[in-house]
Amino acid sequence: MTSSQPSGLGAEYADTASEAYRAALQVIESVEPRVAEATRKELEDQRSSLKLIASENYASPAVLLTMGTWFSDKYAEGTVGHRFYAACQNVDTVEALAAEHARELFGAPYAYAQPHSGIDANLVAYWAILATRVEAPALAELGAKHVNDLSEADWETLRNRMGNQRLMGMSLDTGGHLTHGFRPNISGKMFHQRQYGTDPTTGFIDYSAVAAAVREFKPLVLVAGYSAYPRRINFAKMREIADEVGATLMVDMAHFAGLVAGKVFTGDEDPVPFAHVTTTTTHKSLRGPRGGLVLATEEYAPAVDKGCPMVLGGPLSHVMAAKAVALAEARQPAFREYAQAVADNAQSLANGFLKRDAALVTGGTDNHLVLLDVTSFGLTGRQAESALLDAGIVTNRNAIPADPNGAWYTSGIRLGTPALTTRGFGADDFDRVAELVVEVLQNTQPAAGPNGPSKAKYTLADGTAERVHAAATELLDANPLYPGLTL
């Protein structure tokens, strides 16, 4: 990186990036013009909408450009220095750099940069936990080094043991993720699963209730982390709870990794010192390329390191290179300012809703997201999401605890601050965003479909979409996406 502080959107090298993108699009256009056109259009669309999806962000042009190289052409199954293919020396360099930056940034003993996504990272972690906690001791007990050395009967016994372990994670409707043991997901099928929720009155995690549930169920894996819980977690407490029953604590910090990297979450709120295995995506609040990471203690590192080809297909070396660049950016002091602004802006967004009498799950936030309960507007999440989109506000519908409309239509809207904070939005801008969201929802009415009441149909009062879109455009123009970048 240069000695100047990167803005996050590459304003300091915008002219060079513009030349690079113009040339790239010209080359693409010569082969398949429709792809070049869609690529240009995607930038226009992202520039002209209020992106409030809590899991999205804008990576720097340095990160994006790193992905468009010949690293994509290389197979490199295996791990650094131990590949199933020849000529992987440059892949080794970028993978080792990504892992080094991740270890330094998060203070982790070991980092694995290969997962293609957060779900992949969680699958790698689950297999690593099973391999470390179940497979390795069974092999030792049977005096075998490798599963191929086992008799058919012993192998069957081991397979049964591997397939009969227990996992406990936060339920989907209270903010957990599909991969935290939701029964229809593979995580809920490969393990016997049980879920913990939040306090029905406050919406907060009740640690004594989690402890009681864990004591009763005695999981091998206790998962902490969330996709839609608007509060911080005390990981010291979660580790205590896990230790009481000898469970492995796995933390999925995909949503808040940027706040950990930026030292907003420290002490008991930093999962890395407490978790045996920590997983994350790299493209959410961490502001990197689309992908995943696993951090682990020395105990779990050897099994995680076998992630490819155990669980993962060939590593995306071009994306690992981009992870190295993004993690180098996240180690700059400016990233701490960014992370603090993400949290401050979420406060402002939450206060903006509360002062306009909109209901928030848990009554507010202390991370990067808010979960708006849209039942007070007489709407489903699906109706609210669609009406907001009509006005150029991109959010996603999300279940709320004990959601009466289920996981498809939902009763909530999840909104996050990482992306617009990268654009430069401040506290006042987020107050205005809350005002615009409320204006849309107040002007939206449920409508009937051909067969009667519908959870998807709605009408938006005339002029609302245009009025709100114009107001949003003022905010967007004041905080341009990729300033100086011209195609």
In angstroms, what is the C-alpha Rg of the chain? Answer: 23
Q: Is 77 noted as a catalytic residue in this protein?
A: yes
Q: Binding pattern to ligand DSN, positions 136-165, x when CB under 6 A?
A: ------------------------------
Whole-angstrom distance, CA of residue 201 vs CA of residue 306: 43
| Identity of the residue, 17 or 250, whose beta carbon is nearer to ligand DSN in the bound complex | 250
Of 92, 414, 420, 33, the closest CA to residue 226 belongs to 414
* 187 touches ligand DSN (CB under 6 A): no
The amino acid at 255: H
* 60 touches ligand DSN (CB under 6 A): no
- Residue found under tokens 């903010």: 175
Residues in 326-385 that interact with ligand DSN by CB under 6 A: none
Q: Is 270 noted as a catalytic residue in this protein?
A: no
Can you tell me which of 55, 114, 421, 422 binds ligand DSN, judged by CB under 6 A? 55
Whole-angstrom distance, CA of residue 70 vs CA of residue 252: 31
Whole-angstrom distance, CA of residue 224 vs CA of residue 176: 8
Whose CB is nearest to ligand DSN? 55
Q: Is 226 noted as a catalytic residue in this protein?
A: no
| Identity of the residue, 119 or 168, whose beta carbon is nearer to ligand DSN in the bound complex | 119
Of 112, 115, 110, 127, the closest CA to residue 298 belongs to 110
Per the CB < 8 A criterion, the answer to whether 293 and 323 are in contact is yes
| Identity of the residue, 256 or 458, whose beta carbon is nearer to ligand DSN in the bound complex | 256
The nearest distance, CB 56 to ligand DSN, in angstroms, is 8
- Residue 309 parent element (H or E): helix 307-310
Q: Is 284 noted as a catalytic residue in this protein?
A: yes
Whole-angstrom distance, CA of residue 216 vs CA of residue 206: 16
Can you tell me which of 118, 181, 352, 418 binds ligand DSN, judged by CB under 6 A? 118
The nearest distance, CB 335 to ligand DSN, in angstroms, is 21
| Identity of the residue, 396 or 443, whose beta carbon is nearer to ligand DSN in the bound complex | 396
Q: Is 85 noted as a catalytic residue in this protein?
A: no
- Residue found under tokens 């709605």: 458
b/e code 104-119 from CB counts within 10 Å (16+ = b): ebbebebbbbbbbbbb
Q: Is 104 noted as a catalytic residue in this protein?
A: no
| Identity of the residue, 118 or 352, whose beta carbon is nearer to ligand DSN in the bound complex | 118
Out of 75, 103, 157, 467, pick the active-site residue: 75
Q: What is the DSSP letter of 134?
A: I
The nearest distance, CB 255 to ligand DSN, in angstroms, is 6
The nearest distance, CB 50 to ligand DSN, in angstroms, is 17
Q: Binding pattern to ligand DSN, positions 190-209, x when CB under 6 A?
A: --------------------
Per the CB < 8 A criterion, the answer to whether 213 and 194 are in contact is yes
The nearest distance, CB 227 to ligand DSN, in angstroms, is 4
| Identity of the residue, 241 or 257, whose beta carbon is nearer to ligand DSN in the bound complex | 257
* 227 touches ligand DSN (CB under 6 A): yes
Please enumerate in sequence order all residues whose Cβ is within 8 A of that of 160, keeping only pairs 6 or more positions apart, or say none.
none
Burial of residue 141, with CB atoms counted within 10 A of its CB: 0-12 exposed, 13-18 middle, 19 or more buried: exposed
The residues annotated with a catalytic role in the active site are 75, 77, 252, 281, 284, 290
Question: Could you list the residues that contact ligand DSN (CB under 6 A)?
Answer: 55, 118, 177, 227
